[in-house]
Amino acid sequence: MDRLLSPVRAVESKLDKNGPLSASTVRWGLLAMAVGVTLAVLITMFVSNGFDSNRVKAHAPGATPPTGAVAGSAFGTAAAGDCLTWSKAGATDLKKLDCGSKHMFEVTGVVDLSKYPGREFGPGAAYPDSLRFTELRDEHCVSASQAYLGGKLDPRGKFDVGLIQPGKDGWKAGERTLRCGLQVKTTNGEAAITSTGSVRDVNQSKVYDTGTCIGIKNGLPTGEPVDCTQPHTYEMMSTVDLGTHFNGGPPSKDEQDKFMSDQCAKDAGDYLGSPSAVLDKTLTVFFDYVDARSWLVGSRSLNCMVGKGNDQGFSSITGSAKGDIQIDGQVPVPPPNNGRYTPPPLPGASPPVIPQPR
């Protein structure tokens, strides 16, 4: 099942050999992640966005019976609030389980295409292609998920809106229901990430546990955690709760950047064991930001991350930054010990406008 991942911003570290770490903001990561998101949207069968209230609405199944046994009982009976998981390609072993257990998908609504106007989805209708399922997702699932969360879906948060359809066999057998839901975002559309707990009850901030490393593919972050001994883009050094520093309304990007620059500089020294470790390993400190929409739905947390950018995207790092690492297959060489060092600037200092879910 295909998945999407939100963009990431970055800060480029500036380090003084005799002073504490400091960081100035760059916005390059948004562009990198936008490329991955765009590619994922084109191939996804389980994707996100809008809703047309004048057409067929997402709803709890109620009296709508599953019509295609080959779609599986878990699919055919799943209602809003149910959590689903699978392990096989194509989710052929889809099953329901308690949302307190690790799962991949939380159902937020059901779309009954048999009620769609016209004959497009009637008996004997051709199985829709992936782009048509994307359109159906766009027409129905975001508003269904927004309603499920009481309007508090973070558009830049940890979760993405998705759609599960019955598959060719289920469609052929007459199944015309779709399941809208929420899932953890990825960028490459190749894998799903598990989560624990209902989205209604968890922090939607897009953060990972300290020590988590995020995979790399073609110089871009995959959005999927990998063992730090495997090639990766960056590593999580800490999680920062902006709500402990900023009161009231959402802080501006400049306010967040200043606070996070100082905080991530401190956390880098603590995590890596030395204020000079980022400099010595020729690494870069990164962080995202919380926009106003995310702030207003309750997201407050950000990760401080460490990795290395290059003029093509991200360098591939092997090994935890806390120990010995290789960057693009080479052991990093500390810069000359002759004063202030500024890593090469990353591309994209001005962030592109990234389309948000409608």
- Above 70 in pLDDT, residue 190? no
pLDDT score at 138: 85
This prediction has a pTM of: 0.69
Sequence ranges of the domains in the chain: 10-36+203-327, 45-184
- Above 50 in pLDDT, residue 16? no
Nearest Cα residue to 302 out of 259, 335, 269? 259
The stretch 158-173 carries a mean pLDDT of 90
- Above 70 in pLDDT, residue 44? no
pLDDT tens by residue, 253-308: 999 999 999 999 999 999 999 999 999 999 999 999 999 999 999 999 999 999 99
- Above 50 in pLDDT, residue 43? no
Nearest Cα residue to 9 out of 26, 22, 23, 21? 26
pLDDT score at 58: 52
Q: Percent of the chain, pLDDT > 70?
A: 73
- Above 50 in pLDDT, residue 48? no
pLDDT tens by residue, 71-125: 578 888 899 999 999 988 777 788 999 999 999 999 999 999 999 888 999 999 9
pLDDT tens by residue, 121-151: 999 999 999 999 999 998 999 999 999 999 9
Q: Name the amino acid, one letter, at 318.
A: T
Q: How far apart are CA 70 and CA 75, in angstroms?
A: 10
- Above 70 in pLDDT, residue 345? no
- Above 50 in pLDDT, residue 29? no
Residue by residue, DSSP assigns 266-296 as HHHHHHHSSTTHHHHTT-EEEE----HHHHH
